[in-house]
Structure formats: C-alpha cells, structure tokens
Amino acid sequence: MALLLGKGRYRARQAQTPQDVAAAQCLRTLAFGTDQVDQDEFDSRCTHILVEDMRANGKLVCCFRMLMMERGAEIGQSYSAQFYDLSALEGFKGRMVEMGRFCVHPGRNDPDILRVAWGAMTVFVDQNNVEMLFGCSSFAGTETAEYLDAFAMLKHRHLAPKRWLPRVKAPDVFRFAARLRRRPDAKKAMMRMPPLLRTYLMMGGWVSDHAVVDRHMNTLHVFTGLEICAIPPARKRLLRTVAG
C-alpha cells in the first residue's frame, strides 16, 4: 500500500488495484450525481488518491486523480484541454500535474478530510518535484446568477497572468471578466466559492477569464492554475506541517 499520509482518523493512499479505482469511480458517481458510473479514458493514465476513514473500517470519504506531465508541451493531452485553449501554457518548462475529479462524500463535512487531501497532494508534489498544479474547479449547477459575486471576485483579484491565460475553446462559456462590472461583496463571494477553488486561491492560485458551462456534469468550471513557487511561505509551512 502506497501510504502518502495518515492524520488522526484519516489516511490518504494511492490506489493500487482496479478495485481501488472502481471504488473512486463509485464515490465520484455519488458525489457528482451522474446517471452513469463516472469514468473516462483518463482514469487509466492517472494516479488515484483515496482518503479513507479508519474509524469507519476504511470507508472511502474523498478521492481525486492526478495526471503527471513533464512539461507544458504535453498539456494538450490533459482533461482540461478538452474545454480550454491552453496553448499559452505549452511554454511552461517545469513538471506539471493536473488534479481532477476531486470529491468528498456528500454525507461528510469534516474539514480534516480536505486538510488530509491537501497534505497528501503536498507530499506528492514534493516527492515528484512538481512546479505547477492545474485543473478545472467546479461550481454546482449551470446558472450563473447566484455566483456573480464570486465571479466578480475572481475577475478583480485572481485572473491568470497574461502569459498563461487560457483562451476560449468550449462552445458554451460565461465570459465573466468581460461582462461583469460589479464590485464583489467579499462575504457573499467567499460563501459561494467552491471549497477546492477557495483553497487554490488562498495558496496563490489563478483562474481563466471565463467559465465553461458543462451541461453533462451540470457544473460551471474555471481553469485553475497554481505555481508551486508562488505559494506564500506561511501557507507552505502549514501544508508541510499537515504533510509531516
């Protein structure tokens, strides 16, 4: 068993068997509310991380998958590249990891689950000398109205640097950076910001200037990037404390 991290009642480990991957797919299906088993061709190319509750006989409570790339030239092979024109990132020279299909069991809201998941990610990043994390961060549903403050906050504080900015590729998008003129209500924005995206942003992450309307998954998502070297020192120390 490739154990990445054990903290309190939870442990995070890499999937080792087809049964492990199937368990992750079942949790994803439950969490995303899809009619069919949530699986795709990327599953066989990814490392899957499972977070289990050891006080509940190893019950799976969180999972995500990671796709390793040696440099930006490979980014066209990512899941995200189906939805975004990522040609600007092809010039990134360091090792990259796409984190995807992140979900927590809908019956669990223990913040320690998220902490252990990020701790496991930190271990993986350190062990593999990863220089950038990226992926799609999702808002539930496809209606934009309830997220306008969150999108305004993204526009004013968290847009990608121009040198990395993804361009539009998907046919159905919400160009929030171009369309929104409002100043964000910070409290409302953070209340409506998805927990995973909120964590990325606290570490210095950035997003695309538009959201993709994904009707198949019933989500709105933004491309999200995080350069490891840009994580604030205090946040790095906190992550490594959890990972230690």
Total number of domains in the chain: 1
Cα–Cα distance measured from residue 118 to residue 137, given in angstroms and rounded to the nearest whole number: 15
- In this prediction, residue 1 carries a pLDDT of 55
Phi, psi of 220 (to 5 degrees): -110, 135
Domain that holds residue 224: 3-243
233: which 2 tokens?
């020192």
- In this prediction, residue 55 carries a pLDDT of 94
- In this prediction, residue 225 carries a pLDDT of 97
Give residue 166's identity as a one-letter amino acid code: P
Spell out the residues 6+ positions from residue 195 whose beta carbon is closer than 8 angstroms to its own: 114
Give residue 138's identity as a one-letter amino acid code: S
CATH of the domain at 187: 3.40.630.30
Burial class (CB in 10 A: 0-12, 13-18, 19+), 166: buried
Tens-place pLDDT, residues 174-205 = 999 999 998 999 999 999 999 889 989 999 99
What DSSP string runs through 110-127?
Answer: -HHHHHHHHHHHHHHHHH
- In this prediction, residue 238 carries a pLDDT of 74
- In this prediction, residue 242 carries a pLDDT of 65
Report yes or no: 95 and 71 within 8 Å, Cβ to Cβ: yes
Phi, psi of 222 (to 5 degrees): -115, 145
Helices and strands in the chain, H and E counts: 7, 12
Successive 10-residue mean pLDDT values, the chain, 244 residues: 79 96 98 93 97 95 97 97 98 96 93 91 91 96 96 97 97 97 93 92 95 94 95 78 63
